[in-house]
């Protein structure tokens, strides 16, 4: 039977999640779409024929036809809706970040612990991207030896007008914080943020270079460039003791023409991570039957936000900041 999903937020990502569920995912259907702007909710709901458009997120969560919820509303609303879903016993795929502050993430972890089971999966979709999954699988084979360095590039074509300098850390770098922990299988011990020479008036310090050191000693560098201009470009290279793994460009066709070879970049993350978003949603739907969550947990969401908070501090004080995490609760350590 198809699982009834309610989507909260019908902006860029919310509307894309509605489309993905309606067109690309098996055994699920969108039953309701919520947005404060009813016209926007209606426009997204038309993609999923038969879905209701509503403006009250709490009514959507309480709706008996809604068996699971996708939260894709603005970051600052995530914690309230996630807590309401936990209180209603409904599984959630929550867009990243889980919440803007680690204190809010901690309330979600406390609610899941009180319930005694995990209902939240955080949309760190790179864990489902073929480039990152191949890199992790190949590294796990072991013959490359230990990991020494991870180089990451995270470039956006143009930052939205409302994007602040700190959002480069709290909204963009959080992806590398999560994928680094997942790829290397360890925790981040410290973070430092170097400011590049600002290129445009819209972003005060763009690009940034984040340097993170893992507890086991590996160094991770991340270029976060919000206004790179030419397109959306995200990739990584893992340097190991006996070889390296470099992510291939995510293209289906390369052009050879007029004496040169080329491929094009998407303008934002949706085409670049289309496979990841699709696989993530299918894994979420499958996990509702198998009870085996595969994506980032609320604990992973908490850690990503906590490390980003340390990154904001490092940005402000211009020195490295040590990461102090509480012990991982038993619910998440299995």
Residue span binding ligand ISE (CB under 6 A) among the ranges 65-73, 83-91, 112-120, 169-177? 169-177
Residue span binding ligand ISE (CB under 6 A) among the ranges 39-47, 56-64, 98-106, 168-176? 168-176
Q: Which of 171, 280, 282, 305 is the binder for ligand ISE (CB under 6 A)?
A: 171
Does 277 sit near ligand ISE (CB under 6 A)? no
Does 182 sit near ligand ISE (CB under 6 A)? no
Of 61 and 273, which CB lies nearer to ligand ISE in the complex structure?
273
For residue 89, what is the DSSP state?
A: T
Report d(CA 164, CA 159) in Å as an integer. Answer: 9
CB of 85 to ligand ISE, least distance (A): 21
Of 17 and 175, which CB lies nearer to ligand ISE in the complex structure?
175
Does 73 sit near ligand ISE (CB under 6 A)? no
Q: Which of 81, 128, 225, 269 is the binder for ligand ISE (CB under 6 A)?
A: 269
Q: Pull the structure tokens for residue 221.
A: 């560098």
Does 172 sit near ligand ISE (CB under 6 A)? yes
Report residue 69: phi and psi, to 5°.
-125, 140
Does 156 sit near ligand ISE (CB under 6 A)? yes
DSSP SS3 for 15: helix
Does 81 sit near ligand ISE (CB under 6 A)? no
Query: Could you give the C-alpha distances from 94 to 6, 127, 292, in angstroms and in order?
Result: 12, 14, 17
Look at the chain and count its residues: 334
**Contact 263/253 with Cβ under 8 angstroms?**
yes
Of 31 and 236, which CB lies nearer to ligand ISE in the complex structure?
236
Of 119 and 208, which CB lies nearer to ligand ISE in the complex structure?
208
Task: Give start and end residues of each alpha helix (H) in the chain.
Answer: 12-24, 38-45, 57-62, 78-88, 102-115, 130-140, 167, 174-184, 269-272, 274-290, 298-317, 330-333
Write the DSSP string, 265-303.
PPSSHHHHTHHHHHHHHHHHHHHHHH----SB-HHHHHH
Residue nearest to ligand ISE (CB): 172
Residues near ligand ISE (CB under 6 A): 156, 171-172, 175, 269
């Amino acid at each position: 039977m198809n699982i009834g999903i309610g989507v909260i937020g019908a902006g860029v990502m919310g509307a894309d999640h509605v489309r993905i569920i309606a067109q690309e995912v098996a055994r699920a259907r969108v039953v309701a779409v919520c947005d404060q702007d009813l016209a926007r909710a209606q426009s997204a709901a038309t993609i999923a024929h038969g879905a209701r458009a509503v403006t009250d997120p709490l009514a959507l969560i309480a709706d008996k036809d809604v068996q699971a919820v996708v939260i894709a509303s603005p970051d600052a609303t995530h914690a309230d809706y996630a807590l309401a879903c936990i209180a209603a016993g409904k599984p959630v795929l929550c867009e990243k970040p889980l919440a803007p502050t680690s204190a809010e993430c901690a309330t979600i972890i406390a609610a899941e612990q009180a319930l005694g089971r995990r209902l939240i999966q955080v949309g760190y979709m790179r864990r489902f991207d073929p480039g990152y999954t191949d890199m992790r699988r190949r590294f796990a084979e072991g013959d490359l030896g230990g990991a020494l360095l991870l180089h990451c590039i995270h470039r956006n074509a143009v930052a939205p007008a409302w994007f602040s300098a700190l959002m480069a850390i709290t909204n963009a770098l959080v992806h590398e914080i999560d994928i680094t922990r997942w790829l290397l299988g360890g925790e981040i011990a410290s973070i430092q943020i170097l400011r590049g020479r600002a290129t445009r008036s819209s972003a005060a310090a763009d690009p940034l270079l984040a340097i993170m050191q893992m507890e086991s000693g590996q160094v991770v560098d991340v270029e976060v460039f919000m206004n790179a201009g030419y397109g959306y470009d995200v990739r990584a290279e893992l340097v190991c003791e006996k070889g390296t793994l470099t992510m291939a460009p995510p293209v289906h066709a390369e052009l050879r023409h007029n004496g040169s070879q080329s491929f094009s970049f998407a303008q934002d993350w949706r085409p670049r991570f289309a496979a990841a978003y699709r696989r993530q949603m299918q894994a979420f739907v499958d996990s509702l039957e198998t009870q085996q969550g595969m994506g980032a947990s609320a604990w992973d969401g908490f850690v990503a936000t906590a490390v980003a908070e340390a990154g904001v501090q490092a940005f402000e004080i211009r020195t490295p900041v040590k990461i102090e995490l509480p012990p991982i609760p038993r619910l998440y350590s299995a």
